[in-house]
């Protein structure tokens, strides 16, 4: 048995399903952005906007862009969700949604109190599928998507549920855009993480949905999760990355692997100097500069509460479809020499294997979450200290 992702799907600016998204991401295509001059007057925004006409939701309480995103991805998973509902009772399936914006954009127009509640997306999914188990929202800024997996793992191991729908969904809204603008970190140019010429972040929107079960069948195993808090600053990470290092060590320890066993690291990689400094410090301290790393945010934009979710989906698809290429780190190739060295993936590089991925996620308030994902063919995994190997 093991906690595994047995099915997943996603939408973002790169594509209308995970296959399209993966195809563009593994080729380093960062052209799927729009320029907006209306959301913040007098300011050019580079946004990873999803080009889909979403179906309207009949109930006005739930008819929001965030929920339409979730409904769209769940529709992509119709066969798998149908099988899930046949396998388990509706009392045995929990819902955990990661988001930071929820329906705040609609609340400004509708005035409906329910649109201001972060629990709205989780309640929508529960009602849509007629489920009778727990439905919660995890909102810990940009680590939300990773922490949702931690909650799912706890539910399954404690017997609260037999399966969990883990969903990360955030849409483009004015409130966080104004917030990032006030911090002067929004960039009208492509995000350029780990470059000497860093420009700031691009915001995107996305939704990824995962079916998580404690099962013997094949899937992507959630091998380890590490969670810590900086207690350093409300918006700036600790440059010494003390708690981030602890989170990485926790995740590796839970997975029962060493740093050398990791094949690829998906960086948080926002493109701000503060993030680059902290993350390079943490990655170099634990992995040195030997493990291939890259940020996919220059391709998808920073999807806030859904960032860790879309990045987990990318890692899952990489593990399932590896063919010698990892996600390239798309930037101007002028590495900031003031940062600790890391091994950034180049598009021309070829790699021999990818069986274990680490995904880093950090958020305002010093919230850190690291997830270790491994390809599992349904056989029992032999741990490093397993004397029967």
Q: Cβ distance 143 to 86 under 8 Å?
A: no
The answer to whether the beta carbons of residues 205 and 297 sit under 8 Å apart is no
Among the options 12, 66, 72, 142, which is catalytic?
Answer: 142
At residue 46, what are phi and psi to the nearest 5 degrees? -100, 110
Q: Which of 24, 198, 268, 317 is catalytic?
A: 268
How many angstroms separate the CA atoms of 21 and 242, rounded? Answer: 34
Active site residue 66: no
Residue 307: closest CA among 165, 116, 100, 117:
100
Residue of 115, 302, 317, 329 with catalytic role? 302
Dihedral sign from CA coordinates of 343, 346, 348, 353: positive
The answer for residues whose C-beta is within 8 angstroms of residue 342's C-beta and 6 or more apart is 194, 280, 283, 284, 287, 289, 293
- Biggest distance spanned by C-alpha atoms of the chain: 65
Phi, psi of 93 (to 5 degrees): -115, 120
Sequence-separated contacts (24+) of 345-351 with Cβ below 8 Å: 345/264, 345/292, 345/293, 345/294, 347/27, 347/28, 349/292, 349/325, 350/324, 350/325, 351/263, 351/264, 351/292, 351/322, 351/324, 351/325, 351/326
302 is catalytic: yes
Task: Give me 366's structure tokens.
Answer: 């010093």
Q: Is 329 a catalytic residue?
A: no
Q: Does residue 182 sit in helix, strand or coil?
A: helix
- Measured CA to CA, the distance from residue 227 to residue 368 in angstroms comes to 6
How far is residue 34's CA from residue 227's CA, in Å, rounded to a whole number?
Answer: 34
d(CA 366, CA 269): 15
CA-to-CA separations, 67 to 115, 223, 263, in angstroms, rounded: 11, 29, 35
Give the residue numbers marked as catalytic. Answer: 142, 268, 302
């Amino acid at each position: 048995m093991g906690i595994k992702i047995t099915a997943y799907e996603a939408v973002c600016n790169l594509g209308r399903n995970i296959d399209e998204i993966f195809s563009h991401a593994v080729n380093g295509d960062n052209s799927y952005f729009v320029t907006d001059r209306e959301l913040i007057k007098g300011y050019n925004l580079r946004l990873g906007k999803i080009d889909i006409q979403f179906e309207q939701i009949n109930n006005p309480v739930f008819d929001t862009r965030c929920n339409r995103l979730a409904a769209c991805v769940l529709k992509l998973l119709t066969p798998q969700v149908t099988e899930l509902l046949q396998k388990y009772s509706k009392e045995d399936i929990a819902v955990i949604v990661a988001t930071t914006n929820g329906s705040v954009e609609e609340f400004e127009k509708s005035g409906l109190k329910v649109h201001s509640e972060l629990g709205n997306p989780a309640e929508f999914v529960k009602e849509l599928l007629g489920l009778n188990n727990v439905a919660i929202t995890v909102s810990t800024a940009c680590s939300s998507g990773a922490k949702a997996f931690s909650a799912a793992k706890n539910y399954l191991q404690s017997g609260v549920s037999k399966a969990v729908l883990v969903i990360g969904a955030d849409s483009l809204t004015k409130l966080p855009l104004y917030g990032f603008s006030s911090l002067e970190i929004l960039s009208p140019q492509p995000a350029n993480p780990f470059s000497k010429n860093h420009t700031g972040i691009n915001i995107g929107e996305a939704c990824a949905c995962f079916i998580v079960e404690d099962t013997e069948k094949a899937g992507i195993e959630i091998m380890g999760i590490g969670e810590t808090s900086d207690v350093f600053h409300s918006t700036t990470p600790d440059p010494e990355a003390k708690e981030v290092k602890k989170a990485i060590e926790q995740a590796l320890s839970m997975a029962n692997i060493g740093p050398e066993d990791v094949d690829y690291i998906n960086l948080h990689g926002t493109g701000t100097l503060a993030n680059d400094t902290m993350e390079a410090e943490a990655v170099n301290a634990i992995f040195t500069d030997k493990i291939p790393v890259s940020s996919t945010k220059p391709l998808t934009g920073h999807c806030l509460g859904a960032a860790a979710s879309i990045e987990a989906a990318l890692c899952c698809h990489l593990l399932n479809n590896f063919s010698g290429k990892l996600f390239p780190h798309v930037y101007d190739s002028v590495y900031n020499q003031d940062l600790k060295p890391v091994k950034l993936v180049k598009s021309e590089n070829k790699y021999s294997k990818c069986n274990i991925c680490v995904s880093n996620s950090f958020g305002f308030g010093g919230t850190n979450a690291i997830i270790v994902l491994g390809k599992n063919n349904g056989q029992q995994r032999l741990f490093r200290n397993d004397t029967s190997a």
